[in-house]
Amino acid sequence: MTVPAICPRRRVRCRDDAGNAVVEAAILAPLFVLFLAALLVAMRIQHGSAVVSQAAADAARHASIARTASQARADATASALATLRDKGLHCTPQVALDLSGFARPVGREGTVAARVRCVVALSDIALPGMPGSRTVTRTHRSPVDPYRGR
């Protein structure tokens, strides 16, 4: 049989603190899990944003070195899809191109723009209150060679 400790100042029995760690852990564990889930969501959105930005830059660059607008459209779309696939972002992108730089006469500067839109899935994290997906859109411009052959 254990005898409770006597507090030195009051000559009364002190309260035992046994079991407080379990209560503290039960309160803090869900908060820690929520923090980790929020960190995972932020990292996934940041990664998706970086990959979509790279895909837009690649698409604009491939479009700018093409000889014709139709070839630029095909090359830019293929480049964006390849970048997204190679970087591991699984989504169905929408690639929009502004090829007005090809309408300028030879010797005049122009630009092409590529806008890539992709939906980054967050549903596999599946925590209450978290969104199921996030749409990321990035645009990149690239100069068209003014002395390109046609």
Burial of 36 (0-12, 13-18, 19+ CB in 10 A): exposed
- Is residue 31 one of the residues assigned to a domain? yes
Q: How far is CA 89 from CA 5, 50, 122, 130, in A?
A: 62, 10, 12, 20
Q: How confident is the model at residue 77 (pLDDT cuts 50, 70, 90)?
A: very high
- Is residue 99 one of the residues assigned to a domain? yes
Tell me how far apart the alpha carbons of residues 70 and 79 are, in angstroms, rounded to a whole number: 14
**Terminal alpha carbon distance of the chain:** 98
Higher pLDDT, 61 or 103: 61
| pTM as predicted | 0.76
- Is residue 5 one of the residues assigned to a domain? no
- Is residue 80 one of the residues assigned to a domain? yes
Domain holding 31, by residue range, is 20-144
- Is residue 78 one of the residues assigned to a domain? yes
- Is residue 11 one of the residues assigned to a domain? no
- Is residue 26 one of the residues assigned to a domain? yes
Number of domains into which the chain is organized: 1
Residue 4 has pLDDT above 90, yes or no: no
As a whole number, mean pLDDT of residues 96-118 equals 88
- Is residue 149 one of the residues assigned to a domain? no
Predicted pLDDT of residue 73? 93
Read off the pLDDT of residues 34-53 as tens digits, 9 standing for 90 and up.
Answer: 888 888 888 888 999 999 99
